[in-house]
Structure 1
């Protein structure tokens, strides 16, 4: 048994403080010149690095986890480059490291990989960095990093990594609201993917991004059908992204204003996700939407704030959904009346009395909604601002007499023109 192996065994049966010192001692030790012994030392260092990271994870020591990567660089310099990339990415995933700390660690490791001329490692770390920058909405920094990365990858003609980078580019452009470039980046991804074997999980990610862009165009019918197909494929592969596909399916169902049960699940595969909090929040939104209850909808937004605000796709559609629900809620309130006080309508949609009185007996938001609904012919009525009332009319019956008379005159005109053409020929 080698010295390092004895130390590893000792670390298993000692207190955390002593174990930490042992693991660090193994990491800074140098490998023996002999081939067999050298390989054993490298394996021991790899085990020590993983165990030390697990120790810091259990202690929730984010700073310690970040230091593990620096300590292990001498070890990684002696390993195969592909294995180095794998180990570095595992460490940079960070267990419990905050996102901003992970970004700092990644930037440091990218500089080190440049100095060591480990191009594959550098590209892998940069892809991970862009993903984290997307999570914290650092779109400008992510786009700058992607532009540089794409330039290098195109020179190397590395289509596999290009297929990973272009979807990130599409997500960045979607984040800044440039849907045209987001779709163009996705097209570039499919072009690169068509010339290589695209792994199923990557193909599913491409499909998911494509469907998200369909939803951004408010084409919820097409997006729903694609989300359905992607969900089935991901579920069969136990892909974690299947949960996102299911959430987006339910969102599209709500946005399409389908009046079926909000508890409906399209396939048996969805049953295992039914009790998750992410699905519960979508079910609650669907129920509030079905009841046309704005207060209930706002309560769902408060109760499931983390689940709804953390997903940019869900978050981007909540404003439109809120406007739709507000419109439906207003319709539900005014439907029984021919004349209704505007301050009563404002209170029913959750406006405080002081705000109502301070704003001329109605909320500007409510007044805007009502006036806009009248202009859009959602219902027929007139706002009497002097008396603070809304007059609601029945939908007028369409009189087709005028239109029929116009059509008749058009046909008579054609007959007259035909007769005139015949008389000209006779003459």
Structure 2
């Protein structure tokens, strides 16, 4: 099809076919190939100043960079899409797509409050058009509420908008990424709560309390020690966790260093003055 449009010199049609091909490549997770196809197309469309198509291409580029975990380039492409969109009338569906992508990028930066506002705008746009993407926007809204510890609001949002099953949340790759992060946070909080009464405890006992495999708990405790979530060490020979008391900050040491520094400055000042007098 692309070759036919080239042979027939149908430039505008070819550009749209290539943009659609890049979108299909993204759906097949062929991100690098899609970016290679877009790189030349973006320059060509910018030259022709077809802003409506440019918005679509910039949005697609943003999604591709996000899929490749290149957040700076994803944000830059989204900014370009917004700039092009501001110069023309953008259909509601396209504006909803811009808001949806904005919310996704803010959520990736853990700015969930701003992300929620964008997801809400996207949901309103898609819901009015009966666009299936309204469901995705709603799921991301719920996720943002959970991530900012406002889970109590979730029931109200669901009852007022739509009912969603947890399985649907987990199947979505964007939601799954954040739920994994939330799971790690909750696991760490529970482990800290369980080990708090102990100075030495068997890892198997902690695993029984939290109902997880011993090797999984041991690996997580080791990571938490390395991340300095608590002071301790693993006695792997005995299969135990040894917890240390949190070291108290000694206020005398920094005060002493400051005093020595001040004395040094005074001595240096006296040396300079004496050198001037001797001269």
- What is the TM-score when the length of structure 2 is the normalising length? 0.78
Q: Does 1:178 align with 2:65?
A: no
- SS of 1:160 mapped into structure 2: helix
What corresponds to 1:238 in structure 2? 128
Greater displacement, 117-126 / 402-411: 117-126
Q: Does 1:228 align with 2:117?
A: yes
Greater displacement, 157-166 / 110-119: 110-119
**In the aligned structure 2, how far is the partner of 1:336 from the partner of 1:253?**
32
What corresponds to 1:330 in structure 2? 191
Report if aligned partners of 1:113, 1:122 keep a CA contact under 8 Å in 2. Answer: yes
CA RMSD in angstroms, aligned pairs only: 3.4
What corresponds to 2:220 in structure 1? 369
Q: Does 1:308 align with 2:170?
A: yes
Q: Does 1:167 align with 2:56?
A: no
What corresponds to 1:402 in structure 2? 253
**Deviation of the 1:205 alpha carbon:** 2.3
Structure number with greater Rg is 1
What corresponds to 2:271 in structure 1? 420
- SS of 2:198 mapped into structure 1: coil
| CA spacing shift, 1:250–1:403, aligned 2, 3 Å | farther
| Aligned match for 2:179, one of 286, 303, 318 | 318
Report if aligned partners of 1:167, 1:206 keep a CA contact under 8 Å in 2. Answer: yes
**Deviation of the 1:171 alpha carbon:** 0.7
Report if aligned partners of 2:146, 2:154 keep a CA contact under 8 Å in 1. Answer: no
**Deviation of the 1:209 alpha carbon:** 1.6
| Aligned match for 1:248, one of 124, 128, 140 | 140
Report if aligned partners of 1:160, 1:196 keep a CA contact under 8 Å in 2. Answer: yes
**Deviation of the 1:341 alpha carbon:** 0.7
Q: Does 1:272 align with 2:160?
A: yes
| CA spacing shift, 1:137–1:379, aligned 2, 3 Å | same
**In the aligned structure 2, how far is the partner of 1:243 from the partner of 1:276?**
10
**Deviation of the 1:157 alpha carbon:** 2.9
**Deviation of the 1:151 alpha carbon:** 5.4
Larger RCO (CA under 8 A, 6+ residues apart): 2
Deviations 1:25-61 (A, max 9, x none): xxxxxxxxxxxxxxxxxxxxxxxxxxxxxxxxxxxxx
Report if aligned partners of 1:333, 1:345 keep a CA contact under 8 Å in 2. Answer: yes
- SS of 1:163 mapped into structure 2: helix
**In the aligned structure 2, how far is the partner of 1:421 from the partner of 1:118?**
81
| CA spacing shift, 1:307–1:211, aligned 2, 3 Å | closer
Report if aligned partners of 2:59, 2:77 keep a CA contact under 8 Å in 1. Answer: yes
- SS of 2:153 mapped into structure 1: coil
Deviations 1:10-30 (A, max 9, x none): xxxxxxxxxxxxxxxxxxxxx
- List runs of 5+ in structure 2 lacking aligned partners: none
**Deviation of the 1:165 alpha carbon:** 1.5
| CA spacing shift, 1:424–1:350, aligned 2, 3 Å | same
**In the aligned structure 1, how far is the partner of 2:20 from the partner of 2:163?**
27
Report if aligned partners of 2:123, 2:138 keep a CA contact under 8 Å in 1. Answer: no
**In the aligned structure 2, how far is the partner of 1:234 from the partner of 1:253?**
15
**Deviation of the 1:417 alpha carbon:** 2.8
| Aligned match for 1:342, one of 203, 206, 214 | 203
Report if aligned partners of 2:22, 2:38 keep a CA contact under 8 Å in 1. Answer: yes
**In the aligned structure 1, how far is the partner of 2:195 from the partner of 2:143?**
27
Q: How many correspondences in the alignment?
A: 275
Q: Does 1:388 align with 2:245?
A: no
